[in-house]
Structure 1
């Protein structure tokens, strides 16, 4: 008898692993995603300007009890504390996480456009106005 196991959301997110870069010449946004174990991926968001590199955020993607969480710690925000976003939608090419009580963003989405390009988007409401920022990136490795 062959036993089947359900593929968890972290496994379905493996396309995110690797190094991604986007931006303009002289000002590159880089995200580096690595697998730590079967339930955790870690990411770093960096801003590269010329020869200077600054850490923008440290991120973890954590599967706990079958639920997936996107947990960024953003430099200079939220008093240095991590904020948890809960997976609200997953397909073979898109991950959407939400935290309605966060100031901005309330939603973080990653969409795999092609095997070597993705679109990261943050969105939410600020003072009653819907805002969003899109970050197209290409796979570097």
Structure 2
């Protein structure tokens, strides 16, 4: 039979483990802080905006400006999912409205790679930091098809 002291010790141990996990998640996600803000695709009326949400995820959306109106094209999320960082996208009028997630496969000082080999296109998403206010996003099937989007930090 557990005494009150044993019960309290178990609760404190559980609380400490939860705190450790939260700190681990926040540390893992902090590497994506460079994305926070609004990015404009060079030569297009297209944008991507990212912000922190609850310290456990980065939330974003891709949109176009058409006649001064923001038209959302996709909902984006970088989140700790099943023990790893994932990039999840819900693209309007694609994939029957389902969210598609990509596992964070590689994180270098200037490049983050997300992969989902089961998805048709893209299978790979790369965010590459070119300068403090410039990134390159590359969507590819890892073989033939590739879309490259240079983005600048929008004031």
User: Do the two structures share a fold, i.e. TM-score over 0.5?
Assistant: yes
User: 2:76, 2:111 → 1: CA distance?
Assistant: 17
Q: Which runs of 5+ in 1 are unaligned?
A: none
Question: What is residue 140 of structure 1 aligned with on the other side?
Answer: 154
Among 54, 57, 77, which residue is 2:71 paired with?
54
Larger relative contact order (Cα-Cα within 8 Å, sequence gap ≥ 6) = 1
1:116-135 superposed matches below 5 A: 116-124=133-141, 130-135=144-149
Question: What is residue 97 of structure 1 aligned with on the other side?
Answer: 114
Question: What is residue 131 of structure 2 aligned with on the other side?
Answer: 114
User: 1:72, 1:117 → 2: CA distance?
Assistant: 22
Q: Provide the aligned length of Structure 1 versus Structure 2.
A: 132
Deviation readout 1:109-139 (Å, 9 max, x if unpaired): 10111000001110006xxx61100110100
Is the CA contact 1:8–1:66 (under 8 Å) kept in the aligned structure 2? no
Coordinate RMSD, CA, aligned? 1.8
Among 39, 43, 56, which residue is 2:60 paired with?
43
Distance 1:90 1:82, change over 3 A: same
User: 1:16, 1:92 → 2: CA distance?
Assistant: 14
Question: What is residue 33 of structure 2 aligned with on the other side?
Answer: 14
1:71 to partner: Cα distance: 0.3
TM-score (norm 1): 0.85
Q: Which runs of 5+ in 2 are unaligned?
A: 1-22
TM-score (norm 2): 0.78
Q: Judging by fraction of residues, say which structure has more strand.
A: 1
Q: Judging by fraction of residues, say which structure has more helix.
A: 2
